[in-house]
């Protein structure tokens, strides 16, 4: 009973508060030392343009304008249903620094060829945005390069 009377509650209360404050400070320092997250700075602009992209993807289905994509050796061949002009983008899932974009223009045969000598092996996301006649199209496909 005598030990309970000599118990100093103030000392333990201050020790607990100081420990909790040190914990919060250490957590704040730890979180600030983490690398920056992969935030897309153009996220909101892409969201506003989504309706346009959606209608372009629907045009591919409605007009049956899906291009035929084939890898033959070190060449990627894309066969369109007609003459096409637009942009071709290769997106690498493992890193943005490998992404490549190029303009595309086909003749009346609708064939566009890309030499694959500068591309790394593996998976790529292929994004084709083109105009054929008066219609705009957007097509995405995942491909594997040898």
- Model pLDDT for residues 51-87, shown as the tens digit of each residue: 888 888 898 898 888 888 888 888 888 888 888 889 9
pLDDT over 90, % of the chain: 16
According to DSSP H, which parts of the chain are helical?
2-5, 9-33, 43-48, 50-62
Domain assignments of the chain as residue spans, ordered by start: 2-33, 54-145
Q: Which residue, chain included where needed, has tokens 């086909």?
A: 106
Q: What is the CATH number of domain 54-145?
A: 2.60.40.10
Q: Is the pLDDT score of 3 beyond 70? A: no
Which pLDDT score, from 0 to 100, does residue 5 have?
A: 63
> Within 10 A of 118 (CB to CB), how many other CB atoms are there?
7
d(CA 48, CA 12): 56
Report the chain's mean pLDDT, rounded to a whole number: 85
pLDDT per residue as tens digits for the range 23-61: 999 999 999 888 776 667 777 887 888 888 888 889 889
What's the whole-model pTM score? 0.65
């Amino acid at each position: 009973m005598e030990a309970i009377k000599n118990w100093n509650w103030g000392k333990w209360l201050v020790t607990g508060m100081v420990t909790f404050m040190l914990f919060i400070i250490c957590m704040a320092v730890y979180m600030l030392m983490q690398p920056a997250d992969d935030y897309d700075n153009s996220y909101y602009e892409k969201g506003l343009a989504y309706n346009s992209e959606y209608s372009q993807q629907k045009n591919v289905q409605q007009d049956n304008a899906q291009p035929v994509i084939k890898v033959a050796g070190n060449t990627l061949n894309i066969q369109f249903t007609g003459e096409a002009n637009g942009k071709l983008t290769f997106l690498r899932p493992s890193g943005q620094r490998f992404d490549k974009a190029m303009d595309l223009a086909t003749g009346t045969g609708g064939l566009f060829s890309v030499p694959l000598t500068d591309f790394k092996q593996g998976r790529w996301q292929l994004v084709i945005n083109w105009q054929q006649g008066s219609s705009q199209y957007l097509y995405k496909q995942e491909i594997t390069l040898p």
